[in-house]
Amino acid sequence: MDRSVKFWDKIAERYSKQPIADEAAYQKKLQVTQEYLQPEMEVLELGCGTGSTAIIHAPYVKHIQAIDVSSKMLAIAQSKADAKDIGNITFKQAAVDEFSAPDQTFDAVLGLSLLHLLENKEEVIAKVHRMLKPDGIFVTNTVCLGDTMAWFKLIAPIGKFFGFFPLVKVFTVKDLENSLTDASFYIDYQWQPDTAKVGFIVAKAVFIVAKKAESEMGDRENSI
């Protein structure tokens, strides 16, 4: 079993009980996201964890497909959804890089606290672009350690090997912006107010809502 899967399975119960590090920032991100959501939307959440965000957004959309690599995380997520009698979320165990769906399936894709945990974020961003309908949105919250903690790339492999934290990639906010725009997204909203935990490290995370243009020749003048 992949070490990252073992890591998330191991901490699932503890993770589900952890308080949100910055409640005010979390509530603002929820509010901003919901301003983009519509009742008929089909939504995909990549790396849904224990399902808290999917459950909050569920009343605002038609259906959410929520995936995660950890079966233990998903079991907690399903129990939380059942307890709240929420029936429009489908939880599925799948790795982000293995999941597939037909082109233009979803109106919105959520990738929260995710992109810095992937081996190749560019491939996943390109996949998200294909799966989104024209004018669809990709909502991300991403730890960008390259701006303040570039040295972390030296210890990340060691920490992963010993199970202190999962795979963590180090890149800057500008790197992330370029990855999104190179994949033909434009950035509609961007905010960097809060912190996120990577093992024992607390670092800033950037929240972005990126849009897929209505056509490949769509206007990019709104890009940040």
Residue type, position 132, single letter: L
Give the CATH number of the domain where residue 198 resides: 3.40.50.150
Give whichever of 15-19, 95-99, 191-195 has the largest mean pLDDT.
95-99
The two beta strands, 63-68 and 89-93, are parallel
Residue 143 lies in a domain: yes
- Looking at the chain, the whole-number percentage of residues with pLDDT higher than 90 is 62
* pLDDT band, very low/low/confident/very high, at 167 (cuts 50, 70, 90): confident
Per the prediction, the chain carries an average pLDDT of 85
Average the pLDDT over 153-170 and give the result.
56
* For residue 202, pLDDT beyond 80: no
- The answer to whether residue 224 is domain-embedded is no
Domain range enclosing 174:
3-212
Distance CA 54, CA 48 (A): 7
- What is the per-residue pLDDT for 47? 95
Inside any domain, residue 133: yes
Q: Which residue has the higher pLDDT, 35 or 24?
A: 35
> pLDDT tens digit string along 41-98?
999 999 999 999 999 999 999 999 999 999 999 999 999 999 999 999 999 999 998 9
Residue-level pLDDT at 44: 98
Residue 172's alpha-carbon distances to 135, 157, 175, 177, in angstroms, are: 26, 18, 5, 9
**221 domain residue, yes or no:** no
What's the rounded mean pLDDT across residues 9-26? Answer: 84
Task: Give the pLDDT mean for 171-185.
Answer: 95
Closest CA to 108 of 212, 205, 30: 212
For residue 222, being part of any structural domain is answered with: no
* Residue-level pLDDT at 215: 57
What pTM was estimated for this model as a whole? 0.85
Q: Is the pLDDT of residue 32 over 70?
A: yes
Confidence category of residue 158, pLDDT binned at 50, 70, 90? very low
DSSP secondary structure string for all residues of 62-120: SEEEEEES-HHHHHHHHHHHHHTT--SEEEEE--TTT----TT-EEEEEEET-GGGSS-
CA distance 139 to 150: 24
Among the residues of 84-172, which ranges form H helices?
121-131, 152-161
Which of the two residues, 199 and 177, has the higher pLDDT score? 177
Please report whether residue 218 resides in a domain.
no
Whether 220 is in a domain gets the answer: no
The number of folded domains in the chain is 1
In a domain, 219, yes or no: no
